[in-house]
Structure formats: structure tokens, C-alpha cells
Amino acid sequence: MVNRFNYPVWNLIRLERDSDTPLYEQIFAQFRTGITEGVIPRGTRLPPSRILAKELPLARNTVVQAYDRLEAEGYVRRAHGSGTFVEAVLPEDHQTRAKPAPAMPQLAETALSERATRLLETRLPPERSETLGLSPGVPALDEFPYEIFSRIAARHWRSRAISQTGYGVGQPRAGLTHQIATYLAEARGLACAPEQVIVVGSTLQAAALAAHVLLDIGDTVAVEDPGHLAELATFELSGLRIRPVPVDEMGLDAAALPLSADAEPLPKLVVVSPVEQFPFGCSMPPAQCRALLAWAQAHGSWVLEDDFNSEIRWSGEAQTPLFAADPQGRVIYTSSFNRALAPGLRLAYLVVPPSLVEAFTQAQRVFSLYAPQPDQALVAAFMAEGHLAAHLRRMRAIYRERSLLLCEHLRQRLGDRFIVPEVTAGLHLTIRPRVPFDDTAASATLLGRGFDCPPLSQYCRGEGRRGLVLGFGNTGTEKLPACAEAVARAVEAACGAPE
């Protein structure tokens, strides 16, 4: 596609009409500078002389003179009937380039805030990558319903929906919040009004809203360990204290939370993922969930339930959300469309108790934590027409096949030395060693071979537990045996290493 001069040229050309320098030379000089500095890319079509003369405003002949000189000196070429284009090869390309200017010396100290300094010290894991094999949490992007979305998008933009291009947040009963409320009632047994649903761009934004609405600087947040490090950083940058709570095969244990008699402050918020927690991969049984709710109710604390894996379940009984089992309104529920559809949509949501709706919506407005309204409209139509339900049914079968195949091959190669879990939901599994194992070395080896398999120890705040987190969502069944073999070789090489 040819680059065009899409924006008004009078924003680029500055003419000194009282100068002794002729106007055509000023136009020539400013175009040449823009071309040589890359402001006007090579191959760009310049505005027709008649249009540019009208925009400036000038006699057309003045612009023609400037274009003539640009052409004569090799900066542009004219194509009869097509226009004037910046040359692909410029005169400066043939000149000896001067040495680059020496780098500016760095200041002794950069005046950053204390929070920014802590942020730079935080060792966050890299973002997951759809270009690497076995990347955990990445769905099957090649199975995304592109054709359906393209039809809905075309219909949406043809409708000239003014309400979706303004500042307003739309009507809850006509948009995505209504569809989410309907979906949660039917699929998750969670009853809520559309007004209780707050759509944001990510679950990290949801965590930030919860921090600002429910907590004060210096308050304590209890988090799963190992857990979501970017979420922890969100809380810490909000001025909160972090209390890691170890998780095991039964998830977060409420008995490990402090009691009023303890000397340390009680957590004002507990953050928990009850189903296929990331990265450990555990799910909380009903008794653990009831114990957590009882603890929160007894101490007046809040629970932030991150239910990101429940949509993708192909075996076992669906677990009732904490929000639905909470009669006292102490739970804030959050999830996203990252795994159900695609992370690139950047759509997530919270469900808050009725008493908190006003505070959360006001905080959302203050921090402008919104998701694009046109994208919300597309997903709302996708859900209303029944496409999400059909897509999830199809994807559950795909993910079941992929998880079973990966687990089978891993058990064949590593079952005597590693715990390979049964997976019934989600898009990842975590293998844990029965022998000494350097998970960081194994992860680095796999990364060098094109696999994104982060070490479990990277996510630990307390005792460093070992393991590898493996994804199967975005890796086809035909590739999984070879992937499992690559993991087995890297793991075997890292076994026996000192802890």
C-alpha cells in the first residue's frame, strides 16, 4: 500500500512570507528536511500541487517550482497520472555519513518516585507469547471465530452506532454488562444485575480498582504463593502490604490466615483463584471455600475472586463461585475474555455487591479504567447471538484432547520423577519434581529452543518451590508429542542440580 500524506500539510510547512528567501525555496527546504529525517517516509505520495497551494494558500506555480527542485535534486519522482512520490533512494544515501554524536551523559540520579523505584526493582516475568510453544494461558488463537467477528464488526459499523463512539458508557441492559450478567447466571450460577458488572481492560485493572475502593495505604493484602506477580506489583504500587499465603493441592488454606489475636495486622483483602490457580494449578474444594468465606465474614475482610479458568472446563463438576456462595456481600468477582476468546481483546470485568457499585464506578471514572466501547459492542453481539456458547463447547473438546495428550507423553517420559497432574480446566498444567531440579535452568534451555515454559520458583515470594508451567491451549495436537519430548530432555538435563 502506498503511503499517503493523510494529514493537513499546513501543520508541517511554516512559511515566513516577509523573508528574503523565496517561498518555493522555503517549501523545498522544509520538504527536504522532512524527507531526510524520515518524517516523510520513502515512497510517500506528496499532495498534488493544486491542493497544497490551496492549503497554504499560495499560487500553484510556487508549489510547482518547489516540486521541480525536489525532483531535480533526486528527492522525489513524478509518475504521470499518479502523482509525486518520495524516492526510495535519496542523495544522502550515497554520501559518507558523519560519526554519530556522543551519547549524552546520564544524570547521577534520576528523580523517580519511591513507587517507581520499587517498580523497577520488581522482577516481573515476561508477558506470555503466542509465538512460542507451550506458552501457558494462551488460547488456541487459530481457532478464534474470525469470520463471525468480521461479520458482526461490519454490521456494527454500518449501523453508525453513535452511542459507541462517544464518551458515554452505554446502557447496562443493552450492552456487554447485560450479556455478562446473563452468561454468569446461566453458566456459573451467579446472579447479579447488569449494573453490578463493571467492564475494564484487564483483571489487573480490576485489582487496581479494588485496591483504591476497599483499602487504604498501609493495609495488608493476602495473596496466593506462588501467585500472579504482576497483580502483586499492582497492590504494592498502591501502597499496600503483601502477605503471601502458601497454596498446596487444596488451594489457599484459610487456616493459614492470621486471627484477631495475632500480633500482625489482619488482611483487609484476600486474593484467590479457586479454579486451576496460576501457576500452581490447584483448585479449592468446597470446604476450603466455605472456610475462606467464614474467615472473611468473621473479620470484616474482602475477597477478590479471580475466576479466570472456569469457562474452560471439560471434566468434573463445575465449582460454584465464591461470589454466589457469599450471603454477606464480601466477595468481588473478576474474570476476563482472555481464555474464552482471545487476550488481544483486552476485555475483563468485575461483579461487585450492590452496596459497592457507586464507589467502583466512580473510581473507574477517575482512573479512566475503561475498555473500548466498540469492542464491547462486538463481544456483546457475539454473546447475544449464541456464538460464545457454541465456541466454548467446541474449544472444551479441543483443549481436553490437547491436555490429555500432553499429560500422557509427559507421564511416559517423566512420571517416575515428576508429578504430572490431572487437568480438568484451564489452559496450563504445572509439573513438579520428586527429585532435585533446577527449574530456572530447564526453563532457560527450553526458551532457547522456542518454548515458553516459566519456572514455578519465579512466582514464589516465600519458600521457592520447583516446577515448570506448561501451556497446551495454543499448541496443536500434531506438535504436542515433540513438545513433550523437548520438555523431557530439558528437564532431565536439569535434574540432580543443587537446589
Model confidence pLDDT, tens digit, residues 120-130: 887 787 888 88
Are residues 291 and 228 both part of a single domain? yes
pLDDT of residue 103: 65
The identity of residue 249, as a single letter, is E
Are residues 195 and 325 both part of a single domain? yes
- Answer yes or no: is pLDDT of 108 > 60: no
Residue 427 belongs to a domain: yes
Which DSSP letter does residue 321 get?
P
Are residues 250 and 361 both part of a single domain? yes
pLDDT, mean of residues 178-200: 95
Are residues 313 and 396 both part of a single domain? no
Residue 119 belongs to a domain: no
Are residues 195 and 339 both part of a single domain? yes
- Which residue range is the domain that position 411 belongs to? 390-494
Write down which residue in 361, 385, 409 finishes a domain: 385
pLDDT of residue 499: 44
Of 430 and 48, the structure prediction assigns the larger pLDDT to: 430
- Answer yes or no: is pLDDT of 334 > 80: yes
Residue 108 belongs to a domain: no
Are residues 348 and 206 both part of a single domain? yes
- Answer yes or no: is pLDDT of 1 > 70: no
pLDDT, mean of residues 80-104: 76
Query: What burial letters (b/e) apply to 380-417, b meaning 16+ CB within 10 Å?
Result: bbbbeeebbeebbeebbebbbebbbbbbebbeebbeeb
pLDDT, mean of residues 248-268: 85
Residue 221 burial (CB count, 10 A): 27
pLDDT of residue 174: 60
Write down which residue in 340, 360, 385 finishes a domain: 385
Of 240 and 18, the structure prediction assigns the larger pLDDT to: 240
Are residues 356 and 321 both part of a single domain? yes
Residue 40 belongs to a domain: yes
- Answer yes or no: is pLDDT of 399 > 60: yes
- Answer yes or no: is pLDDT of 213 > 70: yes
**pLDDT of 25-50, one tens digit each?**
999 998 998 888 888 888 888 888 88
Are residues 395 and 310 both part of a single domain? no
Are residues 275 and 346 both part of a single domain? yes
Measured distance CA(289)–CA(423) in Å, rounded: 20
pLDDT, mean of residues 344-370: 96
Contact by Cβ (8 Å): 175, 326: no
**pLDDT band, residue 263 (cuts 50/70/90):** low
**pLDDT of 360-392, one tens digit each?**
999 999 999 999 999 999 999 999 999 999 999
Write down which residue in 94, 124, 140 finishes a domain: 94
pLDDT of residue 146: 96
The identity of residue 293, as a single letter, is L
Instruction: Provide the mean pLDDT of the chain.
Output: 89
Residue 365 burial (CB count, 10 A): 11
Beta strands in 182-307 (DSSP E): 197-200, 220-225, 241-248, 251-252, 269-272, 302-306
Residue 124 belongs to a domain: no
pLDDT of residue 69: 93
Are residues 394 and 332 both part of a single domain? no
Which CATH number is 311's domain given? 3.40.640.10
Are residues 402 and 425 both part of a single domain? yes
pLDDT of residue 442: 97
Are residues 289 and 401 both part of a single domain? no
pLDDT, mean of residues 314-340: 92
Residue 317 belongs to a domain: yes
Residue 57 belongs to a domain: yes
Q: What total number of domains does the chain contain?
A: 3
Which CATH number is 54's domain given? 1.10.10.10
Residue 179 belongs to a domain: yes
3-class SS shares of the chain: helix, strand, coil, % to 5: 40, 15, 45
Which CATH number is 411's domain given? 3.90.1150.10
**pLDDT band, residue 264 (cuts 50/70/90):** confident
